[in-house]
Amino acid sequence: MLRAEDNRFLTASGAGTGMGELLRRFWMPVLLSAELPEADGLPKKIVVMGEELLAFRDSRGVVGVIDQYCPHRGANLWLGRNEECGIRCVYHGWKFDTDGRCVDMPTSYPDLNAKDLIRIKSYPVREWGDMIWAYMGPAGEVPELPALEMALVPASHRYVSKKWQDCNWVQAMEGSIDTAHFTFAHLSFEKQENEILDIKKHFVNPIARMNVDHMRWIAEDPRPVIKINPHDAGLTIAGGRLTGGDNIYWRIAQFLMPVHAYAPSAMPGENIFGQSFVPVTDTNCWIYTYAWNPERPLTQAERDGYDHGNGVISEVDENYVPLRNKANDYLIDRKLQKTKSYTGIKGVSEQDAAVQDSQGPIADRSREHLGPTDLGILHLRPRAAAGAAPTASRASGPLRRALRRLRDAQGQGPARRHGRALRRRDRLCRAAANRGGGVKLGAQASPSFRGASKARTRNLEIPGLVLRTIPE
């Protein structure tokens, strides 16, 4: 539970807000490269953290991200003509280059050089991992690009898309590192193997290689023990489930500051999924979705499969709006819900979107009742917000190094080595039951929101698990 003012702090991304200023210290994906496919092509209106901007690719192929409105008398530059290294306002002909310089002002006398006095808002831009990134923070404090592995591998090894979502970006990101919800949001209520396989066929793309045992363990243990490992670049969040034997099945998600998360789904050798959550306004967001394999190019079959949705990747229309979305109730099938799945909604990504959107345009965290499986969420919030704020720009060095090393992973470790964590989980669950559902976690588990920069958690080791690293 958060105080209402903390919830506002966490979820507001506009210029001048605390979180908005933090986010502006980092490079942010603002478009897919594929959305500006050609030099002098169509410009694109974009809204990023409440700012109305225009993106265009000039005659050299360089992308500019500038104010959407002409500084002369406010005409929308989206109407403009993208010509000879600049976009020309079609009202009176002022023209701007990708750096925001006014390079032509036909309404003024040339010898006055009035154009030299005019500059439009523009942000530094990079293309990285098939996405267009903008830096919207203070000039002169531009950080390094995040060394996300998906951008470091050859283009043939990755697939990149995006999806629209009708809710605040923070609750979508919380969902991405909440490994406990899989049991209900994504699975069948039948636990027999054939039913699980059937659900796998219906709800997970058949090319996904999710092991049947993994599905069963997720189905049979809705109460994963959560372990948290904070690091310079964010958080590692591990959810351990009992396997019926001596092992715990760990699903491990990564939160990477400030807006990136890796899904806890990949075993060694498998494709890895990630997402970047970018606020449009405070009540909707673009989620950049990607899959990559560090060891080999993706196959055409994999790409075709991703085009129709898989894991965190949605099946989207030409505007990147998911085909099953809030406006059509995610095409929920109530009959299927009676007979097979809890949600009755097709697609892991769409199931996620449905429950996250349903929390409201901005989830009211002052009314929630967190429990033991929400430990990752508890740690994410301060890490995402106050904990990072004072050091955002200075963090770029460690951030880069840590991002390079971290990936999602899964593994199994012996259960007996987690006895204490399991006992703690059961204690908390009993406490929750006694209190009628909600449970107040102790100070150690719940760093104070405002004091997050000082919050320290034990560096929890997960035996049997080795986070794979990328060679330097």
Q: Using CB under 5 A as the criterion, which residues of the chain lie in contact with Fe ion when the complex forms? A: 352
Residue closer to ligand FES by CB (options 104, 270) is 104
In angstroms, give the least distance from the CB of 200 to Fe ion: 15
In angstroms, give the least distance from the CB of 49 to ligand FES: 25
Taking the C-alpha atoms of residue 370 and residue 365, their distance in angstroms, rounded to an integer, is: 10
Taking the C-alpha atoms of residue 268 and residue 339, their distance in angstroms, rounded to an integer, is: 34
Position 373: which residue type? T
Residue closer to ligand FES by CB (options 95, 227) is 95
**Residue written as tokens 């058949």?**
206
In angstroms, give the least distance from the CB of 85 to ligand FES: 18
Residue closer to ligand FES by CB (options 93, 100) is 93
Which of Fe ion, ligand FES, none does 89 bind, CB closer than 5 to 8 A by kind?
A: ligand FES
H or E stretch covering 102: strand 102-104
In angstroms, give the least distance from the CB of 91 to Fe ion: 47
Residue closer to ligand FES by CB (options 89, 452) is 89
Taking the C-alpha atoms of residue 145 and residue 399, their distance in angstroms, rounded to an integer, is: 10
In angstroms, give the least distance from the CB of 93 to ligand FES: 6
In angstroms, give the least distance from the CB of 50 to ligand FES: 23
Binding stretches for ligand FES (CB under 6 A): 70, 72-73, 75, 89, 91-94
Residue closer to Fe ion by CB (options 352, 374) is 352
- CB count, 10 Å around CB of 327? 9
Taking the C-alpha atoms of residue 123 and residue 139, their distance in angstroms, rounded to an integer, is: 9
The secondary structure of residue 177, as a DSSP letter, is H
Scored b (16 or more CB within 10 A) or e, 347-359 reads: bbbbbbbbbbbeb
Give the DSSP letter string of 235-264: EEEEEEEE-SSSEEEEEEEEEETTTEEE-T
CA angle 216, 463, 465 (to 5 degrees): 65
In angstroms, give the least distance from the CB of 98 to ligand FES: 17
Which of Fe ion, ligand FES, none does 441 bind, CB closer than 5 to 8 A by kind?
A: none
Residue closer to ligand FES by CB (options 6, 67) is 67
Which of ligand FES, Fe ion, none does 352 bind, CB closer than 5 to 8 A by kind?
A: Fe ion
> Six-digit token pair at 439?
């449970």
In angstroms, give the least distance from the CB of 75 to ligand FES: 4
Residue closer to ligand FES by CB (options 106, 206) is 106
Residue closer to ligand FES by CB (options 73, 308) is 73
In three-state secondary structure terms, 140 is coil
Which of ligand FES, Fe ion, none does 424 bind, CB closer than 5 to 8 A by kind?
A: none
- CB count, 10 Å around CB of 468? 15
Nearest residue (beta carbon) to Fe ion: 352
Taking the C-alpha atoms of residue 351 and residue 330, their distance in angstroms, rounded to an integer, is: 8
The secondary structure of residue 48, as a DSSP letter, is E
